[in-house]
Amino acid sequence: MNNIGNKKCERNTSDLVKAAISGWLGTALEFMDFQLYSLGAALVFREIFFPEQSAIMALILAMGTYGAGYIARIVGAFIFGRMGDAIGRKKVLFITITMMGICTTLIGVLPTYAQVGILAPLMLVLLRIVQGLGAGAEISGAGTMLAEYAPIGKRGIISSLVAMGTNCGTLSATAIWAVMFFLLDKQQLVAWGWRVPFLVSAIVMIFAIWLRMNLKESPVFDGVNDVNNQSINDKQPIKHISLVEMIKSKAFWLATGLRFGQAGNSGLIQTFLAGYLVQALLFEKGIPTDALMISSIVGFVTIPFLGWLSDKIGRRIPYIILTVSSIILAYPMLSIVVDKSNSVSTIMLCLIIIHNIAVLGLFALENITMAEMFGARNRFTQMAISKEAGGLIAVGFGPLLAGIFCNIVNDWWPIVVMIIVYSCIGLVSAIFMPEVKDRDLSNLNDAAL
The DSSP annotation for 332-399 comes to HHHHHHT-TTS-HHHHHHHHHHHHIIIIIIHHHHHHHHHHHHS-GGGHHHHHHHHHHHHHIIIIISHH
Please name the helix (run of DSSP H) or strand (run of DSSP E) that holds residue 96, with its range, or none: helix 89-107
Give CA–CA dist 146/15, Å, rounded. Answer: 10
First-to-final CA distance of the chain: 26
Instruction: Examine residue 184 and state whether it is found in any structural domain, yes or no.
Output: yes
C-alpha closest to that of 146 among 161, 167, 168, 136: 161
pTM of the model: 0.81
Instruction: Examine residue 443 and state whether it is found in any structural domain, yes or no.
Output: no
C-alpha closest to that of 134 among 195, 197, 73, 182: 73
DSSP 52: T
Instruction: Examine residue 16 and state whether it is found in any structural domain, yes or no.
Output: yes
Single-letter residue type at 250? K
The predicted pLDDT at position 57 comes to 64
Domains of the chain: total: 1
* CA atoms in the 13 A half-sphere facing the CB of 106: 16
* CA atoms in the 13 A half-sphere facing the CB of 75: 10
Instruction: Examine residue 222 and state whether it is found in any structural domain, yes or no.
Output: yes
pLDDT in tens, the chain (449 residues): 444 444 445 667 788 888 888 888 888 887 787 778 777 776 777 778 767 666 666 666 666 666 677 778 889 999 999 999 988 888 998 999 888 889 889 988 999 888 888 788 888 888 888 888 888 888 888 889 889 988 899 999 999 888 888 778 877 887 888 888 888 887 888 888 889 888 988 888 888 888 888 888 888 888 776 655 554 444 444 567 788 888 889 999 999 999 999 989 988 888 788 888 887 887 887 888 788 888 888 999 999 999 999 999 999 999 999 999 999 999 999 999 989 889 999 999 999 999 999 999 999 999 999 999 999 889 999 999 998 888 777 876 788 888 889 889 989 999 999 999 999 999 999 999 999 999 999 898 899 76
Instruction: Examine residue 238 and state whether it is found in any structural domain, yes or no.
Output: no
Give CA–CA dist 255/67, Å, rounded. Answer: 21
Give CA–CA dist 64/288, Å, rounded. Answer: 21
C-alpha closest to that of 266 among 84, 409, 139: 139
Give CA–CA dist 423/36, Å, rounded. Answer: 25
Q: What is the CATH number of the domain that holds 289?
A: 1.20.1250.20
Angle among Cα 273, 27, 445 to the nearest 5 degrees reads 110
Residue 144 contacts residue 380 (beta carbons within 8 Å):
yes
Residue 141 contacts residue 92 (beta carbons within 8 Å):
yes
Domain interval for residue 48? 8-231+243-432
The predicted pLDDT at position 202 comes to 87
Cβ neighbors of 101 (< 8 A, separation 6 or more) are 29, 201, 202, 204, 205, 206, 208, 209
Instruction: Examine residue 194 and state whether it is found in any structural domain, yes or no.
Output: yes
Task: Centre a 10 Å sphere on the Cβ of residue 101 and count the other Cβ atoms it contains.
Answer: 26
Instruction: Examine residue 97 and state whether it is found in any structural domain, yes or no.
Output: yes
Give CA–CA dist 282/348, Å, rounded. Answer: 15
The predicted pLDDT at position 410 comes to 87
Residue 221 contacts residue 89 (beta carbons within 8 Å):
yes
Give CA–CA dist 314/307, Å, rounded. Answer: 10
Instruction: Examine residue 236 and state whether it is found in any structural domain, yes or no.
Output: no
The predicted pLDDT at position 262 comes to 93
Phi/psi-derived region of residue 249, left when phi > 0, alpha when psi is between -120 and 50, beta in every other case: beta
